[in-house]
Amino acid sequence: SDSSVKQINVHVRASLENLLDDFIIKNDFTKGAISKGGKGSKSAELKYLDFEDFTKLIALAKEKINPIYASSFMIYIAAMTGMRFSELLGLTWDNVDFEKGQ
């Protein structure tokens, strides 16, 4: 949908600005790009997981946690805490208290 495309676009552009500021890349490869999503909206059934699928996802994410890859860890933490995507991206190891399990 348009809103999903716009949301992804915001994240890509923010990341791109950081890469440009840090001189990791030289050019804005999105300059002049037009992002356009579909007009239709998904039904609630397609937007959300039911409880059975949610529990399968969490079990798989927990099983696949690997310190090299963040995606499974992020899925698990999001499901257990309700954190938003931007909050997950802001987490660092100093936010974790291993002694208290928090």
DSSP per-residue codes, 26-95? SS-TTTT------S----HHHHS--HHHHHHHHHHHHHT-BTTB-HHHHHHHHHHH---HHHHHT--GGG
Which pLDDT score is estimated for 34? 79
Task: Kindly report, residue by residue over 9-33, the tens digit of the pLDDT.
Answer: 888 888 899 889 999 999 988 888 8
pTM: 0.52
DSSP classification of residue 6 = H
Instruction: Please say whether the beta carbons of 5 and 37 come within 8 A.
Output: yes
